[in-house]
Amino acid sequence: MARDEAIQRATTEKQANELALETVRAELSEARAARQQIEQRLQKLTARESWTTVEDPSMGFAGTTRGRGGDAGAETAVEETQAPARRRGRPRKVSQLEPDSDIVEWWKPGWQDRFR
């Protein structure tokens, strides 16, 4: 009787897991579809921008954008700024050595002369 109950619990857990897996797969497929739509929009926008960055005397140099006024003095170069790379590993140990410590080096000759 206990074996039958254990089998029944296992099958209900299996069905619940399969149902959860199906819902997660459905959500994943929706997310992938949304991602593809966004990537397509991005490709269209970059294609439009590539047409505007072609070297044209009326537009200025390639890779530059004009300010709102459209005058030549308001051009700004397009640059990517990157944050400095984070240092990896443990930080260095800071040694706290005191210059005038009271450590007696009794194994060295003449240590008594220092304390007289």
pLDDT for 9-47, tens place per residue? 999 999 999 999 999 999 999 999 999 999 999 998 888
Q: What is the mean pLDDT of residues 55-73?
A: 51
Q: Which residues pair with 60 in a beta bridge?
A: 56
pTM > 0.85: yes or no: no
What proportion of the chain, given as a percentage, has pLDDT over 70? 64
Domains of the chain by residue range? 1-54
